[in-house]
Structure 1
Amino acid sequence: QVWSTGTATSSRQVRLHLYDTDNLILLEDFSDNVVLCQSFDFPTDTLLPNQPLRGNTNLVSLRSGSNHSSGFYKLFFVLENVVHTRALAWNWKIRLQVVSLN
């Protein structure tokens, strides 16, 4: 097994669709209303232009170009509308106040 959504479904028919927003969505039963999993819910090291950064998500850098494990830089929310960034190698923190997330 290379990848799993961690989502159980009784359906045998699913569809994977890459939308113009660059969101990769796994849909159930050929219905646009039943989303099993979508890439925008699980950001890794890159935030795409149309992708929202939600309060329960983290962006974590890669260790290096050839090592794709978690790197030293992290962007995340601590409280609503407050974005933090952390450089783990030097143990410093910067706090950014976001006026609007729209």
Structure 2
Amino acid sequence: MTTYFITRHTGALQWAAAHDIHFDIHLEHLLSLDKLQAGDVIIGTLPINMIYQINQLGVRYLHLSLKIPPHLRGVELDIEQLKVCQATLEEFVVTKISDIET
């Protein structure tokens, strides 16, 4: 089992270190699912369709959840701002109901 932390944000890495969040591999982006195996764990803020795909592989997903006020949206957050935004990890499993033809 491998734990991946997917983030391009330095503040998120600092927050993880300050909270003793263990991960084996840090990647700025998850470009391929090829190396993922059932039982692996991904920590990050991935798009919902990608979360569905990794869940289908048997990979757990821990979302770095934040309560971001409007004035901080789109801002590179540092560790102190992440604390203010109540950063926490929450596990999600995504189920796709159907595909819609457009």
Question: Normalising by structure 2, what TM-score?
Answer: 0.27
- Which is bigger in relative contact order (C-alpha 8 A, separation at least 6)? 2
Q: Which has the larger radius of gyration?
A: 1
